[in-house]
């Protein structure tokens, strides 16, 4: 048992805190914050060595695992855990802190003497402290608003901080109609639903289409089974390009399951960048092309490096205003409105059909995507890398820090990956425009695309048949 007198409480009584030890602690764990000594982190990786040249895919796999283990070890050694301060008195100015110390001394003295003069002085000091704290908080709030200005980047976090409320934990009904309240059960229900979503669309019953599906699968299997020629030298990632990608990584991204943050990658010394570049180029070599285990931000860094190579050979069609630099949904809308206004001034009717493809990114057929990449100018080595990028992927659902069992992803391009928009644009690049299949009095269909949204506009003249 522990007895403590709470002198700091703003009350006329004398509160006493009695703590009875029960052998177990029911209090929640104290939140910890991390402080990383980045100089120590960099010096730990100055001696990183991955060995000689990579001869097999297993060598690349082992080197990739070693690289990530060394980064995690260096980050762990340079990290110090500190408890979060739950008191708001730490940010108070020095004059208010002095008044608080004086108030505690007066309160202790008054509890022993019960002197009326001390009581009057204590009440006046409490009021003075309350006014000073209120003025200080108000001035801080005004300064925060002034710093935010009119920038949406600064105002959005401020609004979320003011309006954020704890979301209610609602039950989820599973397929059998039973309500699931437990976090693990809710995670499994959501994961089961997403697993069905990440599957290819069911094949059509048409014999011709089924024959086409079989031909696509056979051609992709033959391509993956054959040995492709070595990639040209300009396909390999240069050290300067990789360093440019690393320093442009976002600063405030949460680390993934491996615990490696983007801040750690941004502080990698040159020797570690060289090692990472060797691993990335080792994956591109023909004899090593197979799925390599890269996790979280290291994998995303590789995806950005790979994207720069894909863009040398792939470009979206002119009607696609998504995934293209200098294009936006606003420009596509202006283009459509300009066309409608122009045809209206020429006394022509325009019929438009707006389409939104349901689950477009989640239902991309992997074999169909590889088949379409084979018809582009993309080198076979990069096609194999993309194929391996889509294979052996899985996902988990987290509910209240509880993970569901992993489930495979059999279709779709991963949303959130920088490669996914480029791959989806290739997958939908052959959308027909119905050219040559219209009546004589109807002009060609004009197509507008933005990501998975499409609009088809058909011109119809007044003098045509009715």
Question: Rounded CA gap, 108 and 85, in Å?
Answer: 26
Question: Rounded CA gap, 386 and 183, in Å?
Answer: 35
Per-residue pLDDT tens over the stretch 438-454: 555 556 677 888 888 88
Least Cα distance to 250 among 153, 395, 145, 150 occurs for 153
Per-residue pLDDT tens over the stretch 88-109: 666 788 999 999 999 999 988 9
Q: CB–CB of 277/239 below 8 Å?
A: yes
pLDDT at position 246: 92
For the chain, helix, strand, coil in percent to 5 are: 50, 10, 40
pTM over 0.75? The answer is no
Question: Rounded CA gap, 392 and 31, in Å?
Answer: 36
Domain boundaries, the chain: 321-360+428-466
Question: Rounded CA gap, 393 and 410, in Å?
Answer: 8
Q: CB–CB of 240/274 below 8 Å?
A: no
pLDDT at position 405: 92
| Residue whose structure tokens are 């983007």 | 262
pLDDT at position 72: 92
Residues of the chain with pLDDT under 50: 24, 26-27, 291-292, 464-466
Angle at alpha carbon of residue 340, lines to 334 and 344, rounded to 5°: 145
DSSP lists the bridge partners of residue 350 as 459
pLDDT at position 41: 92
- Tell me which DSSP letter residue 288 carries: G
Chain centre to alpha carbon of residue 155: 21
């Amino acid at each position: 048992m522990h007895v403590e007198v709470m002198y700091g409480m703003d009350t006329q009584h004398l509160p006493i805190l009695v703590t009875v030890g029960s052998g177990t602690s029911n209090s929640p764990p104290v939140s910890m914050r991390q402080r990383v000594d980045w100089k120590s982190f960099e010096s730990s990786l100055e001696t990183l060595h991955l060995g000689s040249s990579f001869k097999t895919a297993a060598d690349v796999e082992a080197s990739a695992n070693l690289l990530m283990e060394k980064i995690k070890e260096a980050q762990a050694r340079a990290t110090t855990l500190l408890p979060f301060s739950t008191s708001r008195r730490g940010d108070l100015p020095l004059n208010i802190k002095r008044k608080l110390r004086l108030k505690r001394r007066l309160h202790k003295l008054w509890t022993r003497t019960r002197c009326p003069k001390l009581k009057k002085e204590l009440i006046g000091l409490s009021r003075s402290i309350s006014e000073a704290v209120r003025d200080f908080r108000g001035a801080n709030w005004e300064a925060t608003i002034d710093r935010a200005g009119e920038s949406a980047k600064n105002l959005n976090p401020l609004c979320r901080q003011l309006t954020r409320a704890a979301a209610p934990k609602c039950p989820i009904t599973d397929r059998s109609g039973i309500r699931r309240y437990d976090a693990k059960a809710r995670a499994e229900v959501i994961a089961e639903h997403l697993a069905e979503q990440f599957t290819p669309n069911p094949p059509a019953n048409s014999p011709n289409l089924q024959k086409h599906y079989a031909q696509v699968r056979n051609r992709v299997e033959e391509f993956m089974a054959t040995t492709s020629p070595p990639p040209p030298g300009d396909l390999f990632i240069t050290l300067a390009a990789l360093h440019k990608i690393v320093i442009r990584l976002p600063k405030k991204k949460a680390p993934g399951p491996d615990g490696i943050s983007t801040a750690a990658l941004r502080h990698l010394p040159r020797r570690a960048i060289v090692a990472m570049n060797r691993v990335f180029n080792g994956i591109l070599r023909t004899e090593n092309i197979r799925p390599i285990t890269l996790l979280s931000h290291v994998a995303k860094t590789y995806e950005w490096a790979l994207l720069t190579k894909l863009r040398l050979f792939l470009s979206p069609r002119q009607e696609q205003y998504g995934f293209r630099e200098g294009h936006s949904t606003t420009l596509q809308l202006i283009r459509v409105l300009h066309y409608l206004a122009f045809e209206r001034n020429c006394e022509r009717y325009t019929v438009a059909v707006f389409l939104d493809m349901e689950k477009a990114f989640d239902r991309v057929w992997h074999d169909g995507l590889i088949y379409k990449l084979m018809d582009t100018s993309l080198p076979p080595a990069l096609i194999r890398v993309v194929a391996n990028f889509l294979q052996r992927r899985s996902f988990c659902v987290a509910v209240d820090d509880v993970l569901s069992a992993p489930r495979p992803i059999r279709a779709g391009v991963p949303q959130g990956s920088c490669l996914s928009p480029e791959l989806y644009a290739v997958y939908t690049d052959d959308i027909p425009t119905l050219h040559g299949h219209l009546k004589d009095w109807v002009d060609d269909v004009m197509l507008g695309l933005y990501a998975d949204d499409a609009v088809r506009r058909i011109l119809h003249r007044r003098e045509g048949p009715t």
